[in-house]
Amino acid sequence: MYELVFWQYQEEVYLNHQLVYEALIEDQAVEGLEVLPIQVILNRIASVFSDWEKVDDNSWQNPKGKGAFQVKTTPESVSIDCYGTQGKTMDSLVNVMEEFKCPLFDPQIPARYDEFYEDEE
């Protein structure tokens, strides 16, 4: 399993990414995160992966090969567990979340890829 995690900081808020991640996986509230349009995000993922089989409300699997993923959400975060998915699939998920200005935090490394957003002011 490979985990992808996304959240957005409120303006002028900078926190320790690893501590934010640890709080989120413990279902703890984190002060300073934006509330996300979760249903809109889920609808967008469903749209992008419309040719995949929807297993339940938050899980998809590739009917043409290997790969599956499950989306878990809080009001401020989206976590996607990828099972045997290819890099291209994970890139598509990252791109969807970037549409909502939520950069990837990769807990396996750990690193957050938010340099795209720091120069937009």
Q: Mean pLDDT, to the nearest integer, of 49-71?
A: 96
- Architecture of domain 2-112 in CATH? 2-Layer Sandwich (3.30)
Res 121 pLDDT > 50: no
The CA distances from residue 62 to 33, 46, 66, in Å, are 32, 13, 6
Q: Mean pLDDT, to the nearest integer, of 114-121?
A: 53
| Predicted TM-score of the model (pTM) | 0.92
Q: Cα–Cα–Cα angle for 118, 115, 37, nearest 5°?
A: 75
Q: Looking at 49-99, list the stretches that DSSP marks H as alpha helix, in order from N- to C-terminal side.
A: 87-99
Which tens digits make up the pLDDT trace of 70-109?
A: 999 999 999 999 999 999 999 999 999 999 999 999 999 9
Contact residues for 68 (Cβ-Cβ < 8 A; gap 6+): 55, 59, 60, 61, 62, 82, 83, 84, 85
Asked if 11 and 33 touch (Cβ cutoff 8 Å), the reply is no
Q: Where are the domains of the chain?
A: 2-112
